């Protein structure tokens, strides 16, 4: 009986903290740049998950699911969004274009940059602080997030589209067992889907994001496991080292155990998440993203 009451209490708290899930919003209603068709796969979008107003901190994070640039993993998208809502953070799950559907760089980066611009441009509508919008990604989604962290721009003040006038720079990044490099330690499937099977040396250098870090790169939370056999831990370590060299703040966590793609290691109501999630909450609070 006691256990049943406890479970009911947990579920009640979960229902109170659940997101207000809105319909996906097209990033380019009139058609995305470089689109190869007009099917759903050719239309990048954002799905807003808004926290209960009593919890809302005013911060937001764009979430890039992993999937090797060939698919989008739901547990690294929707699950992260619901967990972020529990912390009071608005989340926007990005459906970006994929290599398996005929796309290559720079289309994925265009989608991520547009996502941050879009949320920033609609900040008042969603009750969000335009200066507290971050980006998060796992595996290949971590590569996309790290690409925006190192390839953002301040917007084009002369653009006809008002969204394009807005900065794409995230306030911070969260990288979960990310692909970062296109070099020796890359995940080959992600590289092939992003760049094709015979990319130039210049393109490999440009999208090896550990080589693109500058003092303007946003603060970043990174985590990986030693046991990850899909994406070598060197991806995370090299990015952290690059941040260290230029004096950018970061929080690095390396766990001995855990397979690739573990995500939160839990499902709703997310009461037994992997320790990285609790470490990340502590860091987000330090960065002023939580109440």
Q: Are 157 and 167 in contact (CB under 8 A)?
A: no
Please tell me the distance from the alpha carbon of residue 148 to that of residue 135, in angstroms, as a whole number.
8
Helix axes 140-151, 107-121, angle to 10 degrees: 70
Which residue has tokens 């980006």? 135
Which stretch of 12-16, 240-244, 265-269, 280-284 has the lowest confidence by average pLDDT? 12-16
Identify the CATH assignment for 2-286 out of 3.30.930.10, 3.20.20.10, 3.30.70.270, 3.40.50.1820: 3.40.50.1820
DSSP 268: T
Element (H, E) at 189: helix 188-195
Does residue 16 carry a pLDDT above 80? no
Give me the pLDDT at residue 20, please: 73
Does residue 7 carry a pLDDT above 60? no
Element (H, E) at 206: helix 201-206
Which stretch of 10-19, 113-122, 157-166, 228-237 has the lowest confidence by average pLDDT? 10-19
**What tens digit of pLDDT does each residue of 200-252 get?**
999 999 999 999 999 999 999 999 999 999 999 999 999 999 999 999 999 99
Residue 167 buriedness (CB in 10 A; 0-12 / 13-18 / 19+)? middle
Q: Are 64 and 96 in contact (CB under 8 A)?
A: yes
Give me the pLDDT at residue 85, please: 97
Q: What value does the CA radius of gyration of the chain take, rounded to a whole number of Å?
A: 18
How many other CB atoms sit within 10 Å of the CB of residue 275?
12
Of 80, 64, 60, which is closest to residue 72 (Cα–Cα)?
64
**What tens digit of pLDDT does each residue of 140-187 get?**
999 999 999 999 999 999 999 999 999 999 999 999 999 999 999 999
């Amino acid at each position: 009986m006691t256990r049943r009451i406890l479970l009911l209490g947990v579920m009640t708290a979960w229902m109170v903290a659940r997101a207000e899930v809105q319909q996906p919003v097209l990033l380019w209603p009139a058609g995305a740049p470089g689109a190869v068709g007009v099917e759903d796969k050719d239309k990048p979008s954002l799905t807003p998950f808004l926290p209960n107003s009593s919890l809302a901190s005013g911060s937001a994070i764009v979430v890039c699911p992993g999937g090797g640039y060939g698919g989008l993993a739901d547990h690294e998208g929707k699950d992260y969004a619901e967990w972020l809502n529990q912390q009071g953070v608005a989340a926007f799950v990005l459906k970006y274009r994929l290599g398996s559907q005929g796309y290559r760089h720079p289309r994925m980066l265009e989608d991520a940059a547009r996502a941050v611009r879009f949320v920033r441009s609609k900040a008042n509508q969603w009750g969000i602080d335009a200066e507290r919008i971050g980006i998060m990604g796992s595996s290949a989604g971590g590569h996309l997030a790290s690409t925006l962290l190192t390839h953002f721009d301040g917007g084009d003040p002369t653009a006809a589209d008002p969204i394009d006038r807005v900065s794409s720079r995230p306030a911070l990044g969260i990288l979960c067992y990310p692909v970062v490099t296109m070099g020796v330690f890359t995940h080959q499937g992600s590289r092939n889907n992003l760049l094709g099977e015979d990319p130039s040396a210049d393109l490999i250098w440009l999208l090896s994001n550990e080589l693109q870090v500058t003092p303007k790169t946003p603060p970043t939370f990174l985590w990986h496991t030693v046991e990850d056999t899909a994406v070598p831990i060197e991806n995370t370590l090299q990015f952290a080292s690059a941040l260290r060299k230029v004096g950018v703040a970061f929080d690095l966590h390396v766990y001995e155990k855990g397979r690739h793609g573990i995500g939160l290691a839990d499902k709703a109501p997310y009461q037994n998440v992997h320790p990285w999630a609790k470490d990340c909450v502590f860091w987000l609070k330090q960065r002023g993203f939580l109440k």
